[in-house]
């Protein structure tokens, strides 16, 4: 694996995080589940990937998300946001707002449409990113900054729209190996100061989920994949908070049958470092992103068990076209090449099946919403979940 070398300062931060990880493993008796390792690698204050100072998003970072590609994503999403606000309450909470680009572009577009929400809350685990979000919004839509506030924890009650783009994939996952003798949890130990994989029999809720998956998806011995109990718990928590409104979640992933397909025998765990994707989570902890695809069937099951209703599930491409992506594109005349060409290129990235169009999905789960949602009027794939 040939990756661009990090700076000395970055290596020193990663070494400090490795010492912290090793200490946690030691304190836990020599082994932690991978979910715990991933949580510390991403979110340890000051040192974790999302909680430290690395750039992360965009061309100068490690990966590019839809809002970073250009404003067309937020401008189009605004149509669905506006409908949901009208059907519930004029309030948005964005979870995991990254650089703040989506918040800034969405607020600008909703203002243009005369449909500004009364408040835009941001729930963000990383203090470093909270500050970056504030700067992005202040630079981009300074007059709207007063509508934005940062939440310290989940609210007790909420009516309105809860938005999360590429957040579920950044939540910790357990690793499970299905063997002839049962399901094992793959965790992390240390040998001579190096992180190593060690499997232990799975137990509790993880074992229940692993056994149910083995029965449903006929997983062969040696099959390795992820299960995210964190995503289940997060969706259930929001279900308890939501009065009237919806969760609109956008991420890469599949329905369960496709996720746990026998040919995907080594799971979906992926690391991103300077636009290179690889599968080595022990490489420079704190300097690289660690993600897993989303099992959207699990998202629906967790939501519905906690009182939410599935309102729609579609590919990002279908969703954006349903929300008027072509109209957003048509705002810029093709004769204005200097603006049209970058816009057309960003739209292509969002919808092309070879880029984000098919792999990325949009799911809406809600309460008290009875009208069909704009984004799912054509091409709804709820039946595949
Ligand atoms: C891959 S980034 C996506 C950022 C942004 N939404 C975008 O599309 O550019 C994941 C984000 O989710 C945040 N995050 C992950 N889990 C979270 C949670 N449970 N609550 C709040 N934020 C979370 C991370 O700190 C980070 O900002």
Q: What is the pLDDT of residue 99?
A: 94
User: 166 CB less than 6 Å from ligand 1?
Assistant: yes
In the prediction, which pLDDT does 273 show?
86
What is the rounded average pLDDT of the residues 10-33?
Answer: 95
229 pLDDT band (50/70/90 cuts)?
very high
CB of 25 shorter than 6 A to ligand 1? no
Q: Which of 197, 180, 186, 165 is nearest to 319 (CA)?
A: 165
Q: Do 259 and 295 form a contact (C-beta atoms < 8 A)? A: yes
Question: How high is the pLDDT of residue 246?
Answer: 98
C-alpha span between 95 and 233 (Å, rounded): 15
CB atoms near residue 1 (< 10 Å): 8
pLDDT in tens, 136-168: 999 999 999 999 999 999 999 999 999 999 999
pLDDT, tens digit, 9 for 90 and up, residues 338-375: 999 999 999 999 999 999 999 999 999 999 999 999 99
DSSP state of 125: S
Output DSSP code: residue 282: T
Pairing label, strands 158-165, 91-95: parallel
pLDDT band at 3 (very low <50, low <70, confident <90, very high): low
- Best substitution site from 63, 125, 277 to test ligand 1's pocket, by max atoms within 8 Å of Cβ? 125
Residues of the chain with pLDDT > 90, as a percent, come to: 89
CB distance 125 to ligand 1 below 6 Å: yes
| CB 362, CB 351: distance < 8 Å | no
pLDDT at position 325 over 60? yes
What mean pLDDT is predicted for residues 15-35? 97
**Most informative mutation of 39, 63, 96, 131 for ligand 1 (most atoms within 8 A of CB):** 96
- 58-95 pLDDT, tens per residue? 666 777 899 999 999 999 999 999 999 999 999 999 99
Distance of CA 231 from the midpoint of ligand 1 (Å): 13
Instruction: Tokens for 3, please give them.
Output: 């990756």
Q: Residues near 368 by Cβ (< 8 Å), separated by ≥ 6?
A: 88, 243, 244, 245
Angstrom distance (rounded) from CA 285 to CA 267: 20
User: Is residue 308's pLDDT more than 80?
Assistant: yes
**Is pLDDT above 80 for 52?**
no
Of 65, 284, 31, nearest in space to 166 by CA: 65
Q: What is the pTM of this model?
A: 0.96
Helices (H), the chain: 8-27, 34-43, 66-69, 72-87, 101-112, 127-140, 204-217, 229-241, 256-259, 296-305, 316-322, 325-330, 337-351
Q: Residue 57: CB within 6 Å of ligand 1?
A: yes
Report which ligand 1 atom has the smallest distance to the Cα of 164. 6
Contacts for 146-149 with beta carbons within 8 Å, 24 or more apart? 147/107, 147/116, 147/117, 147/118, 147/119, 147/120, 148/103, 148/107, 148/119, 148/120, 148/121, 148/122, 149/119, 149/120, 149/121, 149/122
Render pLDDT for 251-276 as a digit per residue (tens, 0 to 9).
Answer: 999 999 999 999 999 999 999 987 78
Distance CA 385, CA 298 (A): 9
Reported confidence tier of residue 56, pLDDT bands at 50, 70, 90: low
- How many Cβ atoms from other residues are within 10 Å of residue 169's Cβ? 20
**Phi, psi dihedrals of residue 383, rounded to the nearest 5°:** -65, -15
- Statement: residue 1 has pLDDT above 80: no
pLDDT digits (tens, 9 = 90+) for 87-137: 999 999 999 999 999 999 999 999 999 999 999 999 998 888 999 999 999
d(CA 347, CA 325): 8
């Amino acid at each position: 694996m040939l990756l661009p070398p990090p700076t000395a300062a970055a290596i020193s931060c990663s070494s400090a995080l490795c010492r912290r990880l090793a200490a946690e493993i030691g304190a836990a008796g020599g082994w932690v589940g991978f979910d715990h390792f991933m949580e510390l690698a991403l979110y340890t204050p000051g040192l974790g990937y999302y909680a430290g100072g690395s750039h992360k998003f965009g061309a100068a970072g490690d990966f590019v998300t839809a809002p970073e590609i250009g404003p067309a994503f937020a401008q189009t999403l605004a149509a669905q946001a506006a409908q949901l606000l009208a059907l519930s309450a004029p309030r948005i909470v964005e979870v995991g707002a990254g650089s703040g680009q989506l918040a800034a572009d969405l607020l600008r577009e909703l203002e243009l449409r005369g449909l500004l929400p009364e408040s835009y809350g941001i729930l963000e685990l990383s203090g470093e990113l909270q500050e970056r979000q504030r700067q992005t919004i202040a630079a981009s839509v300074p007059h709207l900054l007063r509508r934005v506030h940062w939440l310290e924890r989940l609210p007790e009650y909420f009516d309105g729209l809860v938005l999360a783009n590429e957040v579920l994939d950044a939540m910790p996952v357990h690793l499970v190996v299905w063997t002839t003798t049962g399901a094992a949890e793959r965790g992390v130990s240390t040998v001579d100061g190096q992180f190593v994989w060690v499997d232990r029999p799975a137990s509790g809720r993880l074992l229940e989920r692993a056994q149910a998956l083995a029965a449903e998806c006929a997983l062969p011995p040696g099959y390795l994949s992820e299960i995210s109990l964190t995503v289940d718990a997060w969706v259930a928590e929001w279900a308890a908070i939501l009065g009237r409104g919806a969760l609109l979640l956008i991420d890469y992933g599949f329905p369960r049958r496709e996720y746990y397909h026998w040919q995907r025998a080594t799971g979906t765990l992926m690391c991103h470092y300077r636009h290179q994707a690889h599968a080595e989570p022990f490489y420079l902890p704190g300097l690289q992103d660690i993600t897993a695809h989303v099992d959207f069937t699990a998202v629906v099951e967790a939501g519905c068990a906690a009182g939410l209703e599935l309102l729609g599930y579609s590919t990002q491409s279908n969703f954006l076209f349903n929300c008027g992506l072509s109209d957003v594109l048509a705002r810029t005349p093709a004769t204005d090449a200097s603006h049209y060409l970058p816009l057309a290129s960003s739209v292509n990235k969002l919808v092309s099946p070879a880029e984000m169009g098919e792999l990325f999905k949009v799911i809406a789960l809600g309460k008290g919403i009875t009208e069909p949602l704009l984004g799912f009027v054509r091409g709804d794939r709820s039946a595949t979940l």
